[in-house]
Chains A and B, each alone.
Chain A
Amino acid sequence: MNNLKEKLSSLASKELSVWKAKARYRRENREWLKKSAAIALLVLDALKKQGLSQKELAERLKVSPQQVNKIVQGCENLTLETITNLENALDIQIMGENTDRSKTVHRKKKPAA
């Protein structure tokens, strides 16, 4: 094994792998990354159905094509503003009804005892 280790080490790059740091990031941010992935799929599906390119979506959103590319990769921590802009630009629903104020049913206050 030592001989193998020496040979492998002699062939090894001096650069270190950053996989572990990336894996740690994916673990620590798993909850919102899953939501970002689900949104990315909705956007990709809408682009396909409407025959739109990412560049055209970027123009509608007034952002760079690189920004749209990050969104469809499912790795962006999207703001509510960006999500709303995506909904309007693609005419799709991303947020659920619970977050739509116009459809929120407010519970009536109980009368005082």
Chain B
Amino acid sequence: MKTIPIFVSKETGNGLWSIQMHNKPNSEFEAFFDLINDVEWLYHFFTYHIVDLNSGFFDDITPEAAVLRTLDEAEEMEDSLYNYSELGFDNNDTNLQHLFKPLNNFEYVLVSHQKSKARIRNGWLRLYAIRLAENCYLVTGGAIKLTRDMKKMHLQAELKKINQACQFLRSNGIDYPEDLNTYTHE
């Protein structure tokens, strides 16, 4: 595993970083945006997860409509991040902390090294990250979350990556507190 700067201030080191697995060609951040802009991948994802798609957590929609909805959501999420990278993110109006929230819905206090997520309001896309400082996040991956809990295999894989990234930080001298549990709900 290594870290990749996505958009980072040269002066402060603040900004968005991503992990990249040793056997992958791209960072997890870049790979996530490639996937959620790939119509074929999305179509197969929603066809495979048709039961979750129609489980009532979200509106009962077809895989085709779900693909179009995801593309719109991806556009909104990517635009927000692109604007941060262009306009800056080191003031009160544009701060990465506005975009990322604690992974656990019942955690209301922001702390350093906190497992975090970014989402669009009422959306199903999730960008997972570790909060390193107020304005500095390390992205560990992303997913389409159709269910209330994190039990699905692809979501469990994301939790595993967050934990791997925690271990990676810890083993490289970036301390990570042990008091953050494994969440089954976000």
Interface residue ranges, A against B (CB under 8 Å): 1-2, 4-13, 15-20, 22-24, 26-27, 30, 34, 37-38, 40-41, 44-45, 48, 69, 72-75
Contacts and interface: CB of A to CB of B under 8 A. Distances in A.
Given A4-B13, A4-B132, A41-B67, A11 B3 contact: yes
Contacts of B172: 7, 10-11
18 contacts: A4-B132, A4-B133, A7-B172, A7-B173, A12-B3, A12-B5, A17-B27, A17-B29, A19-B29, A20-B7, A23-B82, A26-B75, A37-B68, A38-B68, A74-B38, A74-B39, A74-B40, A75-B38
Contacts of B136: 1, 4
A59 B82 CA distance: 40
Q: Which of A5, A34, A37, A48 has the most CB of B within 10 A?
A: A5
Contacts of A12: 2-5, 17
Q: Which of B18, B39, B64, B173 has the most CB of A within 10 A?
A: B39
Interface of B: 2-7, 12-14, 17-18, 20, 27, 29-30, 33-34, 37-41, 43, 47, 64, 67-68, 71, 75, 78-79, 81-82, 85, 132-133, 136, 138, 172-174
Closest 6 CB pairs of A and B: A5-B13, A74-B39, A40-B39, A19-B30, A72-B40, A11-B3
Nearest to B67: A41
Contact of B85 (A5, A20, A48): A20
A41 to B, nearest CB: 5
